[in-house]
């Protein structure tokens, strides 16, 4: 019998009973985007995160993971309330695209401070930038390796650009191309740099050559975006 998100939610609710505070589907599956692989992301909030909880969940989570999905992120309710400053980007992403599967929707009263969002975003962008530079200086003349490096570093790129728009006070478009265009207009970079990196049908076929100018342009855009976020107050 196939494991679905609905059957998984029913089993989690059954084994946890009153201990379950909230079970939420988030990310691309909640947005209704075309599926990439089998990943269906969930977050589970409970009264506490202790050994009896894990023992109860294990027989439900293991078939879910065998079906190709990540295990749920698990928070105790008190941890959830206190984590908005640390996981500001992740919580705003979840708030923007989530579906309640069981329990209470905790996003209604969740407060994420803009400065926490901006600070985490700058750290993420600068970290991605310095790691990409490290790889670029090693592999810039090897097209195959350069393609692999750029493809790996574009993971989470749309999340970063959506967060740039949120911090900049701009509405987030529902489609990847719209996100890129809006972020390009806000930051001031050419949107064509990301054309092949954000559209799944094209990015899957991305092939860079030795010293490909697209890789250098990508580096420049990340640097400019990090500088833009740093200047925001």
> Could you report the per-residue pLDDT of 89-147, keeping only the tens digit for each?
999 999 999 999 999 999 988 999 999 999 999 999 999 999 999 999 999 999 999 99
Per-domain boundaries in the chain: 5-103, 114-231
Q: How far apart are CA 225 and CA 114, in angstroms?
A: 17
What pLDDT, on the 0 to 100 scale, is given for residue 19? 98
Class for domain 114-231, per CATH? mainly alpha
What pLDDT, on the 0 to 100 scale, is given for residue 149? 87
Provide the b/e sequence for 35-62 (b: ≥16 CB within 10 Å).
eeeeebbbbbbbeeeeeebeebbeebbe
Give CATH for domain 5-103: 3.30.460.10
Choose between 64 and 155: higher pLDDT: 64
3-state secondary structure of 34: coil
Phi-psi region at 161: left, alpha or beta (left = phi > 0; alpha = psi -120 to 50): alpha
Each residue's pLDDT tens digit, 34-85: 555 457 999 999 999 999 999 999 999 999 999 999 999 999 999 999 999 9
């Amino acid at each position: 019998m196939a494991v679905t998100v609905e059957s998984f939610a029913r089993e989690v609710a059954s084994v946890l009973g009153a201990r379950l505070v909230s079970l939420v589907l988030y990310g691309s599956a909640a947005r209704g985007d075309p599926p990439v692989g089998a990943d269906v992301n969930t977050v589970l909030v409970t009264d506490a995160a202790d050994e009896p909880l894990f023992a109860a969940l294990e027989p439900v989570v293991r078939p879910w993971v065998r079906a190709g999905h990540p295990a749920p992120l698990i928070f105790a309710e008190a941890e959830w309330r206190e984590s908005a400053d640390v996981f500001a980007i992740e919580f705003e992403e979840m708030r923007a695209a989530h579906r309640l599967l069981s329990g209470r929707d905790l996003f209604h009263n969740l407060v994420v401070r803009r400065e926490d969002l901006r600070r985490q975003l700058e750290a993420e962008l600068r970290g991605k930038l310095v790691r990409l530079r490290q790889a670029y200086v090693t592999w810039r003349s090897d097209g195959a390796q350069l393609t692999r490096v750029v493809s790996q570093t574009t993971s989470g790129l749309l999340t970063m650009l959506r967060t740039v728009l949120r911090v900049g006070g701009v509405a987030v478009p529902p489609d990847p191309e719209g996100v890129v265009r809006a972020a390009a207009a806000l930051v001031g970079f050419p949107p064509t740099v990301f054309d092949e990196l954000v559209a799944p049908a094209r990015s899957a076929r991305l092939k860079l050559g030795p010293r490909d100018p697209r890789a250098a342009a990508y580096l420049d855009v990340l640097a400019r975006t990090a500088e833009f976020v740093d200047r925001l107050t």
